[in-house]
A and B are shown apart, each in its own frame.
Chain A
């Protein structure tokens, strides 16, 4: 019951974006994919979600992603895209409910309210989605994904969250909140795969890190093992120093400083 990627190749037209990639992600862990722009990390998660045609094999809980029907995949994983659009003026709670199929309308209502509460938008159910800020919209979308992949682990196997840059338009407090939700999902037995731009949040929350460069996995393993000066400098093509306090007077704020134990300083 894992996510496995074997000999993956993805082409955009005649351009090869990913070639011969192998990777695994386990339930119970938060797997972060990092790498510079154009390294193929978004392409990789899209392939994992079944959005793209590809060569090679990807299986999720033993399901062949390429051959699976949309509803088979939808039953075991939710996907938070990098950017979302919404055509009509739906209420926030309606957006969350759109992803739900099984169960009754009352179940949907309850689960959608709970999901909104979990992302800190309890009072926003009947607000128009279009009238929310960018960060609030992104959290509504996360609530939709959570409502879809509701139980981290079920009798038939783990559920998965596939998050493409889940914190890109959030302030630091909400970044921590969202990462903590993902982490809790993984600790409860679910699988989480997240494309991350922020290396500090990655170091803080990831259980497993996949460093990508030029369509290949450069290194994979625990954050402490792969987030090294050598690997990161090679991946990003610039001289990076890990865990080195900066010299000089420019202030810096690291998420690490807030509270590693779990409370980000606001009530959930």
Chain B
């Protein structure tokens, strides 16, 4: 499965490089490169500074969101858990907003040393804190109450929203613009600097997630049984929480709130290939990347020369699928 997902991702990725508001196309540009001719400045900028970092960011963010959702669902033993639905994204958002607004108060050495990574790191910390809190509140003796989880998620989201509101209130107009744009969820601000800032965190968390496959399979049987089959349950849970926080935090930091990828991707894959997490996680990374790159192509061309925030595209595609999952699961999930 992952082989042809990877192939499709490459094809769609190349397609996304050829399509856009300008009529610059990859084919002629590649021919020029092969023939040793120089690219025009527009071609170089459109391909290298606009479309390529955007593709890179789309792949990274899509993989991070899908893997974050899959790990979260494994951790909570529930197919409806999603970082966006249960307040983890809001927590990560609070971290990012804090970083954007409070950077003026931060000591100079910190800004100097952390620089571009400040927002992703703050988003990670926010996501980590809220995942931890959520897990503590909704899990008792190894069993997660879905109702508690969803309600706690709403409370957490509201709290993060309120704190974000306070920060927005004290922000100046320029920061406010940054925040407004960031909150919409978009890959529009893609740059190599962003891809490089979020890339390492996302790559590490995707790799870490792939190592969690057996642990999450074990957790599916409950924490006690997971321990009986030889898993260090506490370590698996800690790793899972860190992974969710890192993947979600990094994705939120660079692209704002993009919803539904984390819930649709694992669900579609479970339908296609079963719930075994070992193949599931790597395939989720691939399918998440694929879907987000596709959604971004739609976002870029549908109202060109302007563009739609990608969060709107994923919500339009994702919300009906989510409702469909709810309908299907009605008999199987005890809320």
Q: Which of B219, B230, B332 contacts A71 (CB 8 A)?
A: B230
Cα separation A223 to B206 with both chains bound (whole Å): 56
Complex interface residues of chain A between 60 and 107 (CB less than 8 A to chain B)? 69-71, 73-75, 78-79, 81, 84-91, 94-95, 98-99, 101
Point out the residues of chain A lying under 8 angstroms from B78, CB to CB: 87
Interface size for chain B: under 10, 10 to 19, 20 to 34, or 35 or more residues?
Answer: 20 to 34
Q: How would residues 27 to 71 of chain A score, 1 for a CB under 8 Å from any chain B CB and 0 otherwise?
A: 000000000000000000000011100000000000000000111
A86 near B227: Cβ-Cβ < 8 Å: no
Q: Which residue of A lies closest to B235 (CB)?
A: A70
A90 near B274: Cβ-Cβ < 8 Å: yes
Q: How would residues 66 to 91 of chain B score, 1 for a CB under 8 Å from any chain A CB and 0 otherwise?
A: 00000000100111000000000000
Point out the residues of chain B lying under 8 angstroms from A94, CB to CB: 274-276
Q: Which of B219, B224, B227, B276 contacts A90 (CB 8 A)?
A: B276
A50 near B274: Cβ-Cβ < 8 Å: no
Interface size for chain A: under 10, 10 to 19, 20 to 34, or 35 or more residues?
Answer: 20 to 34
Q: Which of B143, B230, B276 contacts A85 (CB 8 A)?
A: B143
Cα separation A217 to B219 with both chains bound (whole Å): 34
The answer to the question of A208 belonging to the interface, with a C-beta cut-off of 8 Å to chain B, is no
B275 near A88: Cβ-Cβ < 8 Å: yes
Min distance, Cβ B217 to any Cβ of chain A, angstroms: 5
Q: How many A-B residue pairs have CB under 8 A?
A: 73
Point out the residues of chain A lying under 8 angstroms from B275, CB to CB: 88-90, 94
Cα separation A74 to B224 with both chains bound (whole Å): 12
A75 near B143: Cβ-Cβ < 8 Å: no
Q: Which of A78, A87, A90, A130 contacts B228 (CB 8 A)?
A: A78
Min distance, Cβ A51 to any Cβ of chain B, angstroms: 6
B274 near A70: Cβ-Cβ < 8 Å: no
A148 near B229: Cβ-Cβ < 8 Å: yes
Point out the residues of chain B lying under 8 angstroms from A95, CB to CB: 221
Point out the residues of chain B lying under 8 angstroms from A50, CB to CB: 227
Cα separation A51 to B229 with both chains bound (whole Å): 12
Cα separation A101 to B77 with both chains bound (whole Å): 21
Min distance, Cβ B182 to any Cβ of chain A, angstroms: 34
Cα separation A148 to B229 with both chains bound (whole Å): 8
Min distance, Cβ A87 to any Cβ of chain B, angstroms: 3
B224 near A130: Cβ-Cβ < 8 Å: no
The answer to the question of B231 belonging to the interface, with a C-beta cut-off of 8 Å to chain A, is yes
Point out the residues of chain B lying under 8 angstroms from A89, CB to CB: 270, 274-275, 332
B220 near A70: Cβ-Cβ < 8 Å: no
Complex interface residues of chain B between 215 and 249 (CB less than 8 A to chain A)? 217-222, 224-225, 227-233
Q: Which residue of A lies closest to B75 (CB)?
A: A87
Cα separation A84 to B143 with both chains bound (whole Å): 11
A49 near B222: Cβ-Cβ < 8 Å: no
Cα separation A69 to B332 with both chains bound (whole Å): 35
A87 near B77: Cβ-Cβ < 8 Å: yes
A79 near B228: Cβ-Cβ < 8 Å: yes
Point out the residues of chain B lying under 8 angstroms from A90, CB to CB: 220, 274-276
Complex interface residues of chain B between 134 and 180 (CB less than 8 A to chain A)? 143
Name the residue in A49, A85, A88 with the highest tally of chain B Cβ atoms < 10 Å from its Cβ: A88
Q: A91-B274, A94-B276 are in contact. Are A101 and B220 (CB under 8 A)?
A: no
B227 near A70: Cβ-Cβ < 8 Å: yes
Q: Which of A69, A75, A79, A88 contacts B225 (CB 8 A)?
A: A79
Point out the residues of chain A lying under 8 angstroms from B231, CB to CB: 70-71
B222 near A84: Cβ-Cβ < 8 Å: yes
Q: Which of B143, B218, B224 contacts A98 (CB 8 A)?
A: B218
Q: Which residue of B lies closest to A71 (CB)?
A: B230
Point out the residues of chain A lying under 8 angstroms from B74, CB to CB: 87
B225 near A70: Cβ-Cβ < 8 Å: no
A98 near B229: Cβ-Cβ < 8 Å: yes
B230 near A51: Cβ-Cβ < 8 Å: no
Given contacts A85-B143, A98-B221, A101-B214, 6 further A-B contacts (CB under 8 A): A50-B227, A51-B224, A84-B221, A88-B77, A95-B221, A99-B228
6 nearest interchain CB pairs? A74-B230, A88-B275, A87-B77, A71-B230, A79-B228, A99-B229
Show 21 A/B contacts (Cβ-Cβ < 8 Å), sorted by A. A69-B232, A70-B227, A70-B228, A71-B230, A71-B231, A81-B224, A81-B225, A86-B220, A87-B77, A87-B78, A87-B79, A87-B219, A88-B79, A88-B220, A89-B275, A90-B220, A90-B274, A90-B275, A94-B275, A94-B276, A101-B230
